[in-house]
Chain A
């Protein structure tokens, strides 16, 4: 017979083994991508796939020459940061007033905002495409910034709203008693208290913009194409450069992966519209 302590230990061991096996399995594609990015093209295509090889950084060094990596990366950066900044600018006041000046319409408005997320992008693909064409904005970063701001706005408002709801009203009322204007109240009192929540909201927005692939594939071709589109261009039959594809992919995903690891907990809150904390 096992003692209680021994059976606990056995239990931990079995659970741990299972969990590690599942985690390794799910993580394997990412690991394999990283590994392939360090191979030569010949090694990358070898059958059977090789686990042991002479690693090389050659792919990373050639990315810029072969595909103009930095142009795409810069597009991704400006589009993501632009849409995030714009979104925060519009969402913070809305969340502020809904959290601190709740009316009978507030809940309805919040739910309605959420429901705009239900509008499938294909439902408006044609008009958006034609409008962008009409205004000469096809393949421009501006059009993606505008669209990303709009599609992420409901999420930003919701997330900031749940953070503002946690702030005691007394603090703001005290500032108001001291004669702070609305602007001062927001900038001097509210923003410093909630900067953690706002930072994670921005992070979520950046991640969503960085990885968005419907509008970026449909509305950009070369000038404004972000990394999602660059990588999609490797799907063509002549793009059989697996090692380089892996290197580009690794570089494109690494920053977001690290952001995601750091802010897991806070992301849950935003992604679940505040329902899970």
Chain B
């Protein structure tokens, strides 16, 4: 700052003239030193491990062969991208994120609209029951589904299938990815309901009443009034869920361990597998960077979509 103002003596003048409304901070203004711990810590949290990941990704580094840390260029990336698990990992990640988003947003909108449609008996209890799965820890939901519901002999679904005279299905063995999508949707649909239900309660009732008096049917009201009102909360749901869904781990770890084969391996699980089961730090780091790139692409799209939405209110 000092050098630039010396070189361009006019710059500071225009700068301060450009913001006359800025509040004068008292004494030194606490602003800087109160924010800096948070910023510094988050910066550290981003930069240190990330630069280590970058470094590891271009050297040979396997914990089983210590000392052989030569520079290998992009070899790790090459191995990771051509690994048998890479394509399934990417595809499964996209399927998982996409289908859970679709299920939770569509059903979330419909269910919260249903709850607003009439004041029926026990609405409070219904609300509590609907949002409950969101508060269950991931390892518990995975194991409860795996053992008590999906189990091909003693699970609930097996009993239902037998009741209708059908052959029970080995859900996690035969349809591993679909089964995991259901478990994860079960956890995140309640989140969508929680957010959308609250948003819907702030919808102007008079507007709705006016539309009704003008002869709009319930579907027209839903389409032209409720849905536009929900645009912002839906965007929030999509953003938050994407962040968490890109890194689904515990549900796969405790149910299928990514198998059979790579049938239910997502990117997060694949990298974990490379790093902590095969001890190939170099390759896992290359994979980690690819995951970061993918998350950043998603983040750029989402923040463009929502960033303004989030801050403009304040």
Task: Name A residues whose Cβ lies closer than 8 Å to a Cβ of B.
Answer: 11-13, 15-16, 18-20, 22-24, 26-30, 32-33, 36, 44-49, 90-91, 93-94, 96-98, 101-104, 107, 109-111, 113-131, 149-150, 153-154, 157, 161-162, 165, 176, 182, 207, 210-211, 213-214, 217-218, 227-229, 231-232, 234-235, 240, 242, 245-246, 249, 252-253, 256-257, 259-261, 264-265, 267-268, 271-277
Is A257 in contact with B139, judged by CB distance below 8 angstroms?
no
Is B42 in contact with A276, judged by CB distance below 8 angstroms?
no
Interface centre among A46, A114, A126, A129 (most CB of B within 10 A): A126
The complex places the Cα of A245 from the Cα of B139 at a distance, in Å, of 11
Q: A127-B48, A245-B143, A246-B148 are in contact. Are A214 and B31 (CB under 8 A)?
A: no
The complex places the Cα of A246 from the Cα of B144 at a distance, in Å, of 8
Q: Count the B residues whose beta carbon is within 8 Å of the partner chain — how many?
A: 114
Contact partners of A111 in chain B: CB under 8 A: 303, 307, 310-311
Q: A49-B159, A257-B136 are in contact. Are A213 and B298 (CB under 8 A)?
A: no
Binds A, one of B1-9, B77-85, B115-123, B205-213: B115-123
Question: In the complex, what's the smallest C-beta–C-beta distance from A38 to chain B, in angstroms?
Answer: 13
Is A211 in contact with B291, judged by CB distance below 8 angstroms?
no
Is B135 in contact with A20, judged by CB distance below 8 angstroms?
no
Is B138 in contact with A211, judged by CB distance below 8 angstroms?
yes
Is A162 in contact with B146, judged by CB distance below 8 angstroms?
no
Contact partners of A120 in chain B: CB under 8 A: 246-247, 268, 288, 291-292, 294-295
Question: In the complex, what's the smallest C-beta–C-beta distance from A225 to chain B, in angstroms?
Answer: 11
Q: Which of A29, A213, A264 contacts B249 (CB 8 A)?
A: A213
Is A122 in contact with B299, judged by CB distance below 8 angstroms?
no
Question: In the complex, what's the smallest C-beta–C-beta distance from B187 to chain A, in angstroms?
Answer: 10
Is A214 in contact with B250, judged by CB distance below 8 angstroms?
yes
- Chain A contact residues: helix, strand, loop or mixed: helix
Task: Answer yes or no: B35 CB below 8 A from chain A CBs.
Answer: yes
A-B contact pairs, 22 of them (CB 8 A): A12-B118, A15-B114, A19-B115, A32-B148, A45-B154, A48-B163, A49-B159, A93-B35, A116-B42, A118-B299, A119-B50, A120-B291, A123-B295, A124-B53, A127-B56, A128-B49, A213-B250, A214-B247, A228-B139, A256-B135, A272-B236, A276-B232
A-B contact count (CB 8 A): 327
Contact partners of B294 in chain A: CB under 8 A: 120
Task: Answer yes or no: B128 CB below 8 A from chain A CBs.
Answer: yes
Question: In the complex, what's the smallest C-beta–C-beta distance from A117 to chain B, in angstroms?
Answer: 6
Contact partners of B285 in chain A: CB under 8 A: 126-127
The complex places the Cα of A214 from the Cα of B249 at a distance, in Å, of 6
Is B42 in contact with A275, judged by CB distance below 8 angstroms?
no
Interface centre among B140, B289, B291, B295 (most CB of A within 10 A): B140
Is A125 in contact with B275, judged by CB distance below 8 angstroms?
yes
